[in-house]
Copies of this chain bind each other. A is one copy, B any other.
Amino acid sequence: MTPMKTGLLLAAGTLFLAGGASAQTIDDSALLEQATALFSPIPHMIPKINDNAVTKEKIELGRMLFFDPRLSSSHLLSCNTCHNLAMGGDDNLETSIGHGWQAGPRNAPTVYNAVLNVAQFWDGRAEDLKTQAKGPIQAGVEMNSRPDVVVATLKSMPEYVAHFDRAFPNEDDAVTFDNLARAIEAFEATLLTPASPFDQYLEGNTNAMTEPQKRGLKTFIDTGCIACHSGVNVGGQSYHPFGVVEQPGSDILPPDDKGRFSVTETATDQYVFRAPALRNVARTAPYFHSGRVWDLKQAVAVMGVSQLGEELNAQQVDDIVAFLTALNGEIPETVVPQLPASTADTPRPMPMDE
């Protein structure tokens, strides 16, 4: 294996040695001990957010903004268009469709549990969700709007102004693009999916996972998947080249997308991406930043070759996929918000203006 950018490598190597045949009966107490050292359950409580105390008022406003297509210049596309809360928190497309039916450059990651990632976007260019939220609103291939238009839109509706005043009290001018981003971040921080079979297992209920799922967890640890996919979100914490050992073909790794290199301009960051969090991964096909692989089994096999330098056998792949389905958590219930009606002062939609 080539060097990895994580301190977990040593641990993974050690566990390699301890790994054994995959069809044997699982020793729950040993596996649980390993697992709890590597992972932690999705919290039921909203985590602390840097520079953004999460209040009821911000969550409520953020939910409205998340569903409001008037944040796009066409008035058709909302955050929820590509991060669809009905479909695992993404759009289940290879790459998203944006303004003017343009194809976006990368697969949309899920918004569920995204608050637990170390940074946002496949290349980590946004340090948190409040920074992330501002990106797609302005991107020409996504929502194609501008901060001044968005602020004018929100200020045109007294009900929105009142919501901002409640969410950001004692501010002279609460309706700002920054505060919009904070409200969206606050809402998104509530989008946690706890209580998956794996979480319940981690909490000590050894009946919560099936035998194949437990075997898959063991294989996931023993083969070294945990080098990139560990922690509370089973990934999302560190950057790695796609192709640690062997680069996949250009069908899966398009040569023109150099990943984190475009952020850091460091040669070693070519084709480096943030390892995706694997929570709810069975709900978020297709896979990889290119979205080119639809089948979770194939995705696992590709990872074996490209990241581990190992052809996983059919049993290993099946077991890992079984384990990955155990990462499906309980989706929080979201009520469709009621958005204020546009007024005479609301900037009109510009669907045909590219």
- Interface residue ranges, A against B (CB under 8 Å): 67-70, 74-76, 81, 84-88, 91-94, 97, 100-101, 103, 282-283, 285, 294-295, 331, 333-339, 341-342, 344, 348-349, 351-352
B97 in contact with A344 (CB, 8 Å): no
A338 in contact with B91 (CB, 8 Å): no
| Chain B residues with CB below 8 A from A334, complex form | 335-336
The 5 closest A-B pairs by CB, nearest first: A101-B101, A334-B336, A283-B341, A86-B339, A67-B86
Distance to closest chain B CB from A336 (angstroms): 5
Number of copies: 2
| Chain B residues with CB below 8 A from A103, complex form | 351-352
A81 in contact with B76 (CB, 8 Å): yes
Indicate whether A351 sits within 8 Å of B76 (C-beta atoms), given known contacts A68-B86, A295-B344, A335-B336. Answer: no
A86 in contact with B344 (CB, 8 Å): no
User: 24 A–B contact pairs at CB < 8 A?
Assistant: A74-B97, A75-B91, A75-B92, A76-B81, A76-B91, A76-B97, A85-B336, A86-B338, A86-B339, A92-B342, A93-B349, A93-B351, A94-B349, A100-B101, A101-B351, A103-B351, A103-B352, A294-B344, A295-B344, A331-B338, A333-B336, A334-B335, A334-B336, A335-B336
Distance to closest chain B CB from A200 (angstroms): 19
